[in-house]
Structure 1
Amino acid sequence: MKVVPIENPVEDTALIEQAFRYALRAARLFDGSTAPNPPVGCVLLDQAGEILSIGAHQAAGQPHAERMALAELPAGSKPHTAVVTLEPCAHFGRTPPCVDGLIDAGVKSVWIGTQDLNPRVIGGGAAKLRDAGIEVHFLSKRHEEFAKALHLDCRRLIAPFLHFAKTQRPFVTLKVAVDANGSMIPPVGDKTFTRASSLKFAHKLRRRADAIVTGSGTVLADDPHFTVRHVDDVSDKVRPLVILDRRGRVPSAYLQEARARGFRPIIATDLKSALADLGQSGCMEVLVEAGPELAAACRALKLVNLDITIERLADNDRIRAVYADPSLNGEQCEGEADVFGNN
């Protein structure tokens, strides 16, 4: 993979922008498979401007993105610049510190998409890199438009992780679909009224989620499968399927079928307690797919971190994605890019 050679790749913003887009794309490939860790991507470049390798963190316990990129370096190559979506770690966990790998490889410059605000790590990676004489550049400190947009994408990428790390409660994504009149009830005989592109988007949300939450009314009305079908799912992932059912209406046959589809069904009677239990079990992100009553309850209790509405219009579907943290919202709050980026 070759880009235009330059004298000083650190100052070539077009090259840095391109590298960040590759890093974000690599990280997104493993959305839903990294919990309790965040998805992260890394690109290594040499001084002439050539992309040497790309790495991404794939699962907890496996090497981090920087280590993956270092392992993919061509023999004899010398990385000059590292572009990484999240501040490299400087602590020992299941894997050794990524900053040590970058320092040992002779990297001279590191560009960081966003700071790791996890209280265990905040600022430690950048400080250790600077102590080793490496230039460190944060997108948040840059004033170019590309830097602002990519910094926002990097923050959105790890929003579920940061919320979970700070609160030990899952990041709650609420997804509802409505017609042009605002009704959530599809035509008789149909389970949905959204188009194929919106279905694919919804299944990407399912893939990313560590658990699904729904209501008994949705189960009884639609007999939903909640499986990931329109995109590839994470291999061997068993998701809790929490069904809010205070009146005991969900038949045992549905629970058996859910187990056969690879879920761990759980009957719950209290929404807040169910979410707390999911957090205790290590679920980083929960997707709520339900009807008007449960959706309204989630909003009223201020439990929603990302509120997604898919609206069926005459000629197209419109996606509106609003984060509870206003700093994560773009100017329009519309489109799949507000969730999965433009990369």
Structure 2
Amino acid sequence: MFEEDVSHTKWMKRAIYLASLGKGKTSPNPMVGAVILDKNRNLISEGFHHKAGEPHAEAMAFNNLKKDAKGGSMYVNLEPCCHQGKTPPCVDKVISSGIKDIYISSEDPDKRVSGKGIKMLKEAGVKVHLGLCKKESLELNKSFIYRNTTNNAYGVLKWAMSIDGRIALKNGKSKWITNKKSRSLVHSYRSEFDAIIIGGNTLRKDNPLLNTRGLKAPEPIRVVFTKTLDLPEKANMWDCKTAKTIVVYDSSTANEKLLTRIPEQVEVEKLSSDNPKLISQLLAKRGCNKVLWECGPKLATSALKSGCIQEIITFIAPKILGGENCMNPFGDFEFQEMDEVINLNHSQVNLVGSDICVKNFLKLL
């Protein structure tokens, strides 16, 4: 029995690994991998969901079959879909294949599925084994799960600072606090996201490209949030040949006459207030599972206060900027007692040349 359990874990971990190969490409869908064994427990096929619009993992595995799957087993990290989308339902393929056992890590939180696929499999006589490697499966698809259970995009806040906690000199100059390796790593991180968000002030001061430097196609959506619409007429982000740009503005404060400055190739979205939660919800509706906030102190503070941030990435450079008026990563949270401060957990620390990269997760209350 122990050897059998080890074998089941081995194949599910293989499915999870295959699923991870679609990282950054599958939204609004989850990352899914599938492994098929014949009735003698020999590997006869595997597949994964490459990107949105292409066949799902189960369909890919069936397309790659080397022999008949009847009487065999399937391992898949997420419940097979049972609805018609851009591709046919995977449950039908599993049932018609004659597979005897299916091992599923976790249920799909999508309301169109959410246990219905498992029910259909059981009713068709397929033995369903649920929960194998569940922790690893949930971690892999946490942004997809978060969007489907909260209707908000999973948010990651990133900033770079000196060892004395400054993100820029008092004149706003910040190029470059971190080293080339760190900046290259940021481009790699961006490829895992569906959208990147900055504020109007960051656009005016830094004029960023805000892309992956060709590491992902299509590039993440670039989002500029502005309360004024006072944006430059020329900006790197107005070039939308390789990356889409959306200007999102607060209609309660913005001067809408300035909309004429926005080039026609740039999308424009209107919100009722400056609450960052509205941006998160807007992007979630557009199918963005995971978004990166690369904004300045004001928007970062507001995003954190409003619950838009679930994870933080901090790059720390061995430099001292000094000065009381130098920019900090955040504004004033107006805490009065130490038990009011924001607690982080699960620190992951890595050296990037002479810099330090720290990943933290917001403490679950």
Given that 1:306 and 1:324 are in contact with CA atoms closer than 8 Å, whether structure 2 keeps it comes out as no
Counterparts of 1:118-133 in structure 2, within 5 Å, are 118-133=110-125
Given that 2:69 and 2:97 are in contact with CA atoms closer than 8 Å, whether structure 1 keeps it comes out as no
Q: Quote the Cα distance in structure 1 between the aligned partners of 2:30 and 2:147.
A: 10
Deviations 1:221-255 (A, max 9, x none): 433211113x7313xx2643222333445312115
Q: Quote the Cα distance in structure 1 between the aligned partners of 2:149 and 2:277.
A: 17
1:302 maps to a residue whose letter is G
Q: Alpha-carbon deviation of 1:161?
A: 2.1
Q: Quote the Cα distance in structure 2 between the aligned partners of 1:201 and 1:16.
A: 35
Deviations 1:18-74 (A, max 9, x none): 323332232222223222221211111234443322211233343211111111111
Q: Quote the Cα distance in structure 1 between the aligned partners of 2:53 and 2:229.
A: 39
Given that 1:259 and 1:265 are in contact with CA atoms closer than 8 Å, whether structure 2 keeps it comes out as no
Distance 1:54 1:70, change over 3 A: same
User: Which residue in the other structure is 1:158 paired with?
Assistant: 141
Counterparts of 1:166-185 in structure 2, within 5 Å, are 166-185=149-168
Whether 1:228 aligns to 2:209 is no
- Alignment partner of 2:361 out of 322, 325, 329: 322
- Alignment partner of 2:15 out of 23, 26, 48: 23
Could you tell me which runs of 5 or more consecutive residues in structure 1 were left unpaired when the two chains were aligned.
1-7, 141-146, 327-343
User: Which residue in the other structure is 1:266 paired with?
Assistant: 247
1:43 maps to a residue whose letter is V
User: Which residue in the other structure is 1:303 paired with?
Assistant: 308
Q: Quote the Cα distance in structure 1 between the aligned partners of 2:61 and 2:26.
A: 17
Q: Quote the Cα distance in structure 2 between the aligned partners of 1:287 and 1:180.
A: 23
User: Which residue in the other structure is 1:335 paired with?
Assistant: none
Choose between structure 1 and 2: higher helix proportion. Answer: 1
- Secondary structure, counterpart of 1:82 in structure 2: strand
User: Which residue in the other structure is 1:203 paired with?
Assistant: 187
Distance 1:232 1:51, change over 3 A: farther
User: Which residue in the other structure is 1:294 paired with?
Assistant: 299
Whether 1:73 aligns to 2:65 is yes
- Alignment partner of 2:198 out of 214, 221, 244: 214
Which deviates more from structure 2 when the two are superposed, residues 75-84 or residues 36-45? 75-84
- Secondary structure, counterpart of 1:113 in structure 2: strand
Could you tell me which runs of 5 or more consecutive residues in structure 2 were left unpaired when the two chains were aligned.
251-273, 319-350
Q: Alpha-carbon deviation of 1:292?
A: 2.5
User: Which residue in the other structure is 1:3 paired with?
Assistant: none
Distance 1:216 1:34, change over 3 A: same
- Secondary structure, counterpart of 2:84 in structure 1: coil
Distance 1:55 1:201, change over 3 A: farther
Given that 2:237 and 2:245 are in contact with CA atoms closer than 8 Å, whether structure 1 keeps it comes out as no
Give me the CA root mean square deviation. 3.1
Given that 2:15 and 2:34 are in contact with CA atoms closer than 8 Å, whether structure 1 keeps it comes out as yes
- Asked which structure has the greater CA Rg, the reply is 2
Choose between structure 1 and 2: higher strand proportion. Answer: 2
* Identity %, equivalent residues: 29
Q: Quote the Cα distance in structure 2 between the aligned partners of 1:55 and 1:21.
A: 13
Given that 2:191 and 2:220 are in contact with CA atoms closer than 8 Å, whether structure 1 keeps it comes out as no
2:206 maps to a residue whose letter is D
User: Which residue in the other structure is 1:333 paired with?
Assistant: none
Q: Quote the Cα distance in structure 1 between the aligned partners of 2:175 and 2:36.
A: 48
Given that 2:36 and 2:69 are in contact with CA atoms closer than 8 Å, whether structure 1 keeps it comes out as no
Counterparts of 1:110-125 in structure 2, within 5 Å, are 110-125=102-117
- Alignment partner of 1:100 out of 92, 95, 102: 92
TM-score (normalised: structure 1): 0.76
Q: Quote the Cα distance in structure 2 between the aligned partners of 1:272 and 1:77.
A: 47
Whether 1:190 aligns to 2:175 is yes
Q: Quote the Cα distance in structure 2 between the aligned partners of 1:193 and 1:34.
A: 31
- Secondary structure, counterpart of 1:208 in structure 2: coil
TM-score (normalised: structure 2): 0.72
Given that 1:243 and 1:266 are in contact with CA atoms closer than 8 Å, whether structure 2 keeps it comes out as yes
Given that 1:241 and 1:265 are in contact with CA atoms closer than 8 Å, whether structure 2 keeps it comes out as yes
Given that 1:194 and 1:317 are in contact with CA atoms closer than 8 Å, whether structure 2 keeps it comes out as no
Q: Quote the Cα distance in structure 2 between the aligned partners of 1:121 and 1:297.
A: 34
Distance 1:107 1:202, change over 3 A: farther
- Secondary structure, counterpart of 1:253 in structure 2: coil
- Counting matched residue pairs gives 305
User: Which residue in the other structure is 1:277 paired with?
Assistant: 282
Given that 1:268 and 1:274 are in contact with CA atoms closer than 8 Å, whether structure 2 keeps it comes out as no
Given that 1:239 and 1:264 are in contact with CA atoms closer than 8 Å, whether structure 2 keeps it comes out as no
Given that 1:45 and 1:51 are in contact with CA atoms closer than 8 Å, whether structure 2 keeps it comes out as yes
Given that 2:209 and 2:236 are in contact with CA atoms closer than 8 Å, whether structure 1 keeps it comes out as no
